[in-house]
Structure 1
Amino acid sequence: MFPNSPSGFSPDTSGFDFLFSVFPYLFVLVFLLIVGSLLFRGARYAKNAASPRQSAFVKVVAKRTRVEHHSGTPSFTDEHFTSTPSHSHTYYYITLEFEDGERKEFLDVKGLYGLVAEDDTGFAAVQGDWIVAFERTAAPSYYS
């Protein structure tokens, strides 16, 4: 009860006390997750960028895409409803088979996805987890 309250009303604030005691920890956790994700992406990019470029005769055995969609966040004002725009990003992957039978999937960072087809053969330049070039040629006898 509030000491000077004429009606005797005493609000229950225990739920808010719990929320305010947990919020700083949740804020720090979300902040660390975001920073960790950015550091991981940056480290992966640096690893691929620093990798030596290698060229080999290959066969394109598969292609796939992965779409990431990020929705907008709504906001309300007294006059109207607004929303930040949503966006998506498509990642393109090409799976190559090397002469020794090994297969590996590479992220297309140079726009080659639409220029190659499954069963194409040729020389591919790869750098870490990226495919950076592809030159189509006739298949040798071991791919026939």
Structure 2
Amino acid sequence: MDSGFGSFSSGPGAGFDFMFTLVPVLIGIVFVIIIISLIGSGVRYAKNASSPKNTHYARIVSKRMDVKNTSHSHGNDNMMHSTSSRTYYYITLEFDNGHRQEYLDVKNLYGLVAEGDEGYAAVQGDWIVAFERNVNQGQSSFR
């Protein structure tokens, strides 16, 4: 019997038709989000890698770390479970003009420097790639 709504059916198979349409669309959306995220990460890496290295006199005003955790379940019964984490280290520099900026530590400097250290910092895009501590910190150019 035609109910006047075109090909809309309300029989016993209608729910399956809806699910066979909805599930592939949701999987496609998740796939697109992952691809866009990967492309964005690649573009950000390429931008930083191609940026020129600049060296400035600066003071380290803070350090922080950011731990990202991921969790995965394997198999149908979720008995296999694995987690992984990655720690990102950031160093904030204050320059002679008072400007502060946070940089991602890509050269493992985090454990080698302390807050209050002054010296020449080499930065490349959003990365800090080197820091040479000033051994004469009594002659500070900061306030």
When the two structures are superposed, what TM-score results if normalisation uses the length of structure 1? 0.84
The answer to whether structure 1 residue 87 and structure 2 residue 84 are counterparts is yes
Shift of residue 14, structure 1, vs aligned partner:
3.1
Q: Give 3-state SS (helix, strand or coil) of 2:72's partner.
A: coil
User: Unpaired runs of 5+ in structure 1?
Assistant: 1-10
- In structure 2, the residue matched to 1:5 is none
Instruction: Indicate if the aligned counterparts of 2:122 and 2:128 stay in contact, CA closer than 8 A.
Output: yes
**1:91-110 equivalences in 2 (<5 Å):** 91-110=88-107
- In structure 1, the residue matched to 2:128 is 131
Name the CA distance, whole Å, in 1 between partners of 2:98 and 2:80: 54
Name the CA distance, whole Å, in 2 between partners of 1:28 and 1:61: 44
Shift of residue 13, structure 1, vs aligned partner:
3.4
Q: What code does the residue aligned with 1:142 have? A: S
> Which range is displaced more, 133-142 or 49-58?
133-142
Shift of residue 75, structure 1, vs aligned partner:
1.6
Residue deviations 1:66-102, cap 9 Å, x none?
A: 110001213246xx9323x210000000000011110
Shift of residue 28, structure 1, vs aligned partner:
1.4
Name the CA distance, whole Å, in 1 between partners of 2:21 and 2:76: 27
Q: Give 3-state SS (helix, strand or coil) of 1:18's partner.
A: helix
Residue deviations 1:11-48, cap 9 Å, x none?
A: 93333222111122112111110100000000000000
- In structure 2, the residue matched to 1:71 is 71
- Percent identity of equivalent pairs: 50
User: Unpaired runs of 5+ in structure 2?
Assistant: 1-10
- In structure 2, the residue matched to 1:7 is none
Q: What code does the residue aligned with 2:66 have? A: R
- In structure 1, the residue matched to 2:142 is 143
The answer to whether structure 1 residue 53 and structure 2 residue 53 are counterparts is yes
Instruction: Indicate if the aligned counterparts of 2:73 and 2:79 stay in contact, CA closer than 8 A.
Output: no
Q: Give 3-state SS (helix, strand or coil) of 1:119's partner.
A: coil
Residue deviations 1:89-128, cap 9 Å, x none?
A: 0000000001111000000000000111101001110000
Give the paired residue count.
131
Q: What code does the residue aligned with 1:120 have? A: D
Name the CA distance, whole Å, in 2 between partners of 1:50 and 1:86: 33
